[in-house]
Amino acid sequence: LPLGKAPSSFFLSSQAKMSRPVQAQRLEGVDKNLWVEYVKLAATYAKVNLGQGFPDFPPPDFLKEAFTRVVRGEDHTVHQYTRAFGHPPLVKMLAQLYGKLLGQDLDPMSNVMVTVGAYQALFCCIQAFVDKGDEVVIIEPFFDCYEPMVRMAGGTPVFIPLRPKAPKDGKLMSSADWQLDPAELASKFSERTKALVLNSPNNPLGKVYSRAELELIADLCMKHDALCISDEVYEWLIYDGRENVRIATLPGMWDRTVTIGSAGKTFNVTGWKVGWTVGPNQLLQHVRTMHQNSVYHCATPTQEVVAQGFQRELEHYGKPDSYFIQLPRELQQKRDQLIQSLVAVGMKPVVPEGTYFLVADISEFKSEVPDVPNSDKPYDSRFANWMLKNKGLAAIPLSTFYCEAHKNNYSNFIRFCFAKEDATLKAAEDILQKWKLEKAGP
């Protein structure tokens, strides 16, 4: 029947309706995302938002200036498609920088690939390596997309929590006090293990894995012939002069590791969504196949600007005016400011060694927040909701970063982001102070 002649009832008939399942099986169980709910709630109730991880201060001037130069300049090619696996100036800069950091002679064309943020790098790597029946070890607490990404690839995530150890002498806990149990970690590996996802510095704890911890992981990866997907997006945000060891530099690990980074975190431009993955060609060739058959290539102008940003950083490498030195220095002050505010009201922050997040123990506040009997939500989630609606302060429950089976074991902490203007942190402090006074009563 020609379209124009079809009676309208034809389209309403049962034949016109889909009766078969629309959703592909791989989406089963991964269709809910807590962030969607939090972002919406925070937009409605937050006076101060320390929930989602993004800075509310501007990126460095040299990057904003480069952006203007690039988009206004004479070279119109920056507005067109570029090379699929990464804009040549950017992959060249990344190869230079990571060549230095990883102690490898890197070929920009085969050892580096640019992605739509680190998020797409994770997706491409997991899709490229994980098959049905493969197991992937994920250390908890974890950046929440790892689990659905592994499941969508047909793999089975195998979770192992970092175990917190109480600090001595009434000191504040440090993210270093959250450790892997070596025997427990070894028990998670088998011949089915295809990969381990590592995140150091870790979101949400701020843990920076020590060399000894990484050696433990590396030994198990080698023993079981597993890959390491190393998410290092917070690589420059490390405090108190702590060493950042990259797992790809450990003996035997280069050949089985893909290292993932993000301009969003490196230059405070989370909205640009420029990320990358670095590794040996025998691994990256498969990641390129995924990229080619999904996104194909990323926005050219932002890649050009990030390339210029790295060029500037390479020229200032190790010098006091390097952004890689200035940013963590500024953030360390903000970290300490937030720690003080939290301690003052009786929350117990876990001092992070890296990232721009910290988690705080809210046990002391339990009596404060009315509990909801028989709720299917972990306590920290109810607490964060209550705090947002009643105090206007947004934070993220730590249980969000655990698998379903472990959520209730780690539900006494909430995560704050301290990559915020001093005024924002002061506003948070004011809310907490007022709350403390109310708590104390008249």
Beta strand segments in 237-288, E: 257-262, 274-278
Does 206 engage in binding with ligand PMP (CB under 6 A)?
A: no
Closer to ligand PMP by Cβ: residue 175 or 341? 175
Does 96 engage in binding with ligand PMP (CB under 6 A)?
A: no
Region of 78-86, 117-125, 244-252, 388-396 interacting with ligand PMP (CB under 6 A): 117-125
**Size, binding site for ligand PMP by CB under 6 A:** 14
Region of 70-78, 269-277, 280-288, 304-312 interacting with ligand PMP (CB under 6 A): 269-277
Q: Which residues contact 82 (CB under 8 A, 6 or more apart)?
A: 88, 297, 300, 303
Q: Which two tokens stand for residue 285?
A: 């060739």
Closer to ligand PMP by Cβ: residue 275 or 378? 275
Half-sphere exposure of residue 258: CA atoms within 13 angstroms, side-chain side: 32
Sign of CA dihedral 216, 138, 162, 269: positive
Q: Which two tokens stand for residue 227?
A: 């890959």
Q: What angle do CA 218, 161, 420 make, to 5 degrees?
A: 95
Region of 164-172, 240-248, 267-275, 426-434 interacting with ligand PMP (CB under 6 A): 267-275
Does 141 engage in binding with ligand PMP (CB under 6 A)?
A: no
Q: Which two tokens stand for residue 160?
A: 């192992």
Closer to ligand PMP by Cβ: residue 119 or 209? 119
Closer to ligand PMP by Cβ: residue 265 or 348? 265
Tell me which of 38, 67, 143, 410 binds ligand PMP, using CB under 6 A: 143
Closer to ligand PMP by Cβ: residue 345 or 395? 395
Does 354 engage in binding with ligand PMP (CB under 6 A)?
A: no
Least CB distance from residue 350 to ligand PMP, whole Å? 17
Greatest C-alpha distance within the chain:
83
Place of tokens 């420029």: 274
The number of residues making up the chain comes to 442
C-alpha closest to that of 176 among 152, 148, 144, 212 = 212
Q: Which residues contact 115 (CB under 8 A, 6 or more apart)?
A: 121, 124, 275, 276, 277, 291, 295, 298
Tell me which of 49, 111, 127, 199 binds ligand PMP, using CB under 6 A: 199
State how far the Cα of 76 lies from the Cα of 72, in Å rounded to an integer: 9
Closer to ligand PMP by Cβ: residue 111 or 120? 120
Q: What angle do CA 206, 210, 216 make, to 5 degrees?
A: 120
Question: Is residue 125 a contact partner of residue 133, using CB atoms and an 8 Å limit?
Answer: no
Does 139 engage in binding with ligand PMP (CB under 6 A)?
A: no
Least CB distance from residue 264 to ligand PMP, whole Å? 4
Tell me which of 108, 141, 161, 264 binds ligand PMP, using CB under 6 A: 264
Does 275 engage in binding with ligand PMP (CB under 6 A)?
A: yes
C-alpha closest to that of 113 among 320, 273, 317, 261 = 261
Closer to ligand PMP by Cβ: residue 148 or 341? 148
Closer to ligand PMP by Cβ: residue 203 or 268? 203
Closer to ligand PMP by Cβ: residue 257 or 262? 262
Beta strand segments in 210-265, E: 227-231, 257-262
Does 118 engage in binding with ligand PMP (CB under 6 A)?
A: yes
Least CB distance from residue 438 to ligand PMP, whole Å? 33
C-alpha closest to that of 212 among 162, 261, 250, 255 = 250
3-state secondary structure of 204: coil
Region of 1-9, 113-121, 126-134, 242-250 interacting with ligand PMP (CB under 6 A): 113-121
Does 114 engage in binding with ligand PMP (CB under 6 A)?
A: no
Tell me which of 203, 259, 277, 341 binds ligand PMP, using CB under 6 A: 203
Tell me which of 162, 208, 218, 233 binds ligand PMP, using CB under 6 A: 233
State how far the Cα of 388 lies from the Cα of 38, in Å rounded to an integer: 10
- Which positions touch ligand PMP (CB under 6 A)? 53, 117-119, 143, 199, 203, 231, 233, 262, 264, 270, 273, 275
